Structure 1
């Protein structure tokens, strides 16, 4: 770590002699008071130290990591750092862990108290009823600490990723500190930790594909797998910020990983709850839904204005295929996978058969529903690009979100109020009608929207030559 100049710089800024001395004195006195003057001192010390670690290292650390890059931009030091010889990986972990050093220093004192309490205090004082011992502690102290630390690092990495997204928004005139990570972390982080407080007697085996795993070990392994992918995402964003091309296969590999991971959860016993669908069709339906969701998420996350698209076409026309592949928008990759899973889903449904019923027991036309949803997806992509290709792309995303809200929520609600649900296929995927009526309206909208988008492109940027 001492060879990473970014980490070393943050170390000298964050860990001052005053903080080194004051932190253990303050927290030592605080925990002393809890232990000797609080009711049920051992239990109170265990819970308080754990929640103090989550508060300081988890929530506060996520806030610090989110604003690490924005602070550098505000202090006008980031442009100089981009010109240094520090490689993207060193810059990634130097900023991710360097910006949160003090939160870790504060939190590790609390984590140490938590571990010492588990080691020194008899279980009968901590858990008077043995069957109420937490699932998190059912396999020993080390796995429990790995779980807590992994969750905290994951939230910090997500905070850093959110901060980089805000810093890379070139349409924003000013870069300001944000508390988005706190807004998301306040309900999510305690919920994740509290889920591990369930009594051991409630523990259930996790079934994934045809294998059975211990609940705690499965979720611990899943946590670190997704943590690795999150840090990989931070690294990819840092490469982009430092003007280093990202390999085109990383995003594809992540989407395929999520697809394979999620499809392992539906089991044959769940077919009834999925309304009669074939076992493998139900799995593909879940995977398709995830790919559609990822397409929308990355549309909101990644800006694809005319400059980006022109650069992609220029690289392609120059026969710089490798560079062009690196510039392909991630929403395009996700939408291609959505189309592939949709095609596989419908083909498998046609081959294996089965029914798809709604909660009222009415049959849903799966073919029309999926095809209509994909047409609406293509319309929404064209709508967003249409606004990005305008003279003022700064408000493109907000404008598109307003249109989506009106089309998907407001108008269908109004139709329901006036008993005109027959027009729902014009605005929502509807499997209760025949295939033609379900698909024709969104298909027509997609064609017209793409025609308008291409026309606007030609007006602003010239002919669309590939």
Structure 2
């Protein structure tokens, strides 16, 4: 990584002699003041000072640095020059992510070394295994928060929404959320003995909570790095296609399936049904997120249709929007569920429903699919409006209207049983009543989005 030109540039800028000398002096001075005024009966002690210093350096300052590294280039009009350099997307990703935060990590590593010495010398009964878990957890929190901060800032740059914005609040939000998560984890590590560690069941494995959380954090960190790399590739006009996104969805489904509460006494069909249900929920949620955040470049859609007309399958796959891939997976999982037999006693135990009344779960799943298609088409309809200023906020308002406000109004006026099928799937209704409203709403929104698309094509 030292041979990365972008990383070396940050080394020269961030780690000049003045900064390298001042950082340990400031930390040492503050640590000394904490040491001479310490009170182990309160929270004011060197251990907590070092943990707080690490949090500020990595989760507040470092997250801000990672989130601003490319944004500042855009605002200072130097990003276009860097985009034309010979650096690969991978080199640019590593250089920006680790170079922009190198100074904060310099201070953070000093605090970790001091924390290790303090605990070893003044907390002799603290297990060394737990100490190393604490170190790994702290470093993992910092790396993950900074990677997510840069990923969300790259999303804004790829979507072209940063040029008019001088203040970027997402890094601060990420930093505060991870700071809260960090202190919860530290509290657990300090006050939970190793022999009382909660046990997590994942598939047929029983793993202590802390090692499992560290492994999960490591996996999420790798995926976040890959996400930053993919966005950087898009920004450098070297598109990688949706394969990485597809693999991430498969990973999420496989990871979540390990937590599905299945027992050996359950029938194989019932276990499969529960795991497919969890996969359906995850893929649907991620498809909504992809449609909400992904760039709505008109030219990109035209390129996708162009490759489809030519029959160039490889180019078509590379040009596919991520939410198209997610929607295809949703349909595939839906079809698999529809062809999976539903046992009556399992459904009764799962949904707590009296089976003397008809329950059309499969028809409700079909309706849910069309409601999702309606929502995705609505997002495209609003994004394709050239006059829209706050399309994302408008989408959130519409979804709140459809799924919260209108159902509550219908409930308040006593029409919930009559109008419920207009807002969400109701499995207790007749199949025609369950599916028809969702299909009609989806077709109406799709026709409006298609009409707007054709209008934009004629104007282009």
Q: TM-score, normalised by structure 2?
A: 0.90
User: What's the offset of the Cα at 1:394?
Assistant: 4.7
Q: Tell me whether 1:256 sits opposite 2:250 in the alignment.
A: yes
Q: What does 1:86-235 correspond to in 2, within 5 Å?
A: 86-124=87-125, 139-170=129-160, 173-198=163-188, 199-200=192-193, 202-235=196-229
Q: Tell me whether 1:61 sits opposite 2:68 in the alignment.
A: no
User: What's the offset of the Cα at 1:429?
Assistant: 2.5
Q: What does 1:360-379 correspond to in 2, within 5 Å?
A: 365-379=360-374
> Aligned residue for 1:40?
40
User: What's the offset of the Cα at 1:369?
Assistant: 3.0
> Aligned residue for 1:344?
336
Per mean C-alpha deviation after superposition, the further-off stretch among 37-46 and 436-445 is: 37-46
**Cα distance in 2 for residues equivalent to 1:296 and 1:271:** 35
Distance of aligned partners of 1:158 and 1:362 in 2 relative to their CA distance in 1, 3 Å threshold: farther
Deviation per CA, 1:35-72: give whole Å up to 9, x if none: 23211299822222112112211222111111111101
User: What's the offset of the Cα at 1:393?
Assistant: 5.1
Deviation per CA, 1:325-353: give whole Å up to 9, x if none: 11100011111111222222333243686
User: What's the offset of the Cα at 1:377?
Assistant: 0.5
User: What's the offset of the Cα at 1:407?
Assistant: 1.4
**Cα distance in 2 for residues equivalent to 1:266 and 1:252:** 21
> Aligned residue for 1:291?
283
Q: TM-score, normalised by structure 1?
A: 0.89
Distance of aligned partners of 1:118 and 1:351 in 2 relative to their CA distance in 1, 3 Å threshold: same
Unpaired runs of at least 5, structure 1: 128-136
The 8 Å contact of residues 159 and 296 in structure 2, kept in 1 or not, is answered as no
**Cα distance in 2 for residues equivalent to 1:155 and 1:145:** 16
- 1:67 counterpart SS class: helix
The 8 Å contact of residues 6 and 91 in structure 1, kept in 2 or not, is answered as yes
Q: Tell me whether 1:279 sits opposite 2:280 in the alignment.
A: no
Q: Tell me whether 1:453 sits opposite 2:449 in the alignment.
A: yes
- 1:96 counterpart SS class: helix
**Cα distance in 2 for residues equivalent to 1:311 and 1:271:** 51
**Cα distance in 2 for residues equivalent to 1:429 and 1:32:** 63
**Cα distance in 2 for residues equivalent to 1:59 and 1:367:** 47
**Cα distance in 1 for residues equivalent to 2:349 and 2:444:** 32
Distance of aligned partners of 1:271 and 1:81 in 2 relative to their CA distance in 1, 3 Å threshold: farther
The 8 Å contact of residues 304 and 329 in structure 1, kept in 2 or not, is answered as no
Distance of aligned partners of 1:171 and 1:22 in 2 relative to their CA distance in 1, 3 Å threshold: closer
Aligned residues: 448
Distance of aligned partners of 1:322 and 1:268 in 2 relative to their CA distance in 1, 3 Å threshold: closer
The 8 Å contact of residues 88 and 239 in structure 1, kept in 2 or not, is answered as yes
Deviation per CA, 1:122-141: give whole Å up to 9, x if none: 434xx6xxxxxxxxx67343
Q: Tell me whether 1:31 sits opposite 2:35 in the alignment.
A: no
Q: What does 1:13-28 correspond to in 2, within 5 Å?
A: 13-28=13-28
> Aligned residue for 1:134?
none
The 8 Å contact of residues 158 and 234 in structure 2, kept in 1 or not, is answered as no
- 2:385 counterpart SS class: coil
- 2:129 counterpart SS class: coil
**Cα distance in 1 for residues equivalent to 2:158 and 2:274:** 38
The 8 Å contact of residues 306 and 388 in structure 1, kept in 2 or not, is answered as no
Deviation per CA, 1:182-213: give whole Å up to 9, x if none: 22331343224413532125412221112222
- 1:355 counterpart SS class: helix
Which of 409, 412, 416 is the aligned partner of 1:414?
Answer: 409
What RMSD, in angstroms, separates the aligned Cα atoms of the two structures? 2.7
> Aligned residue for 1:11?
11
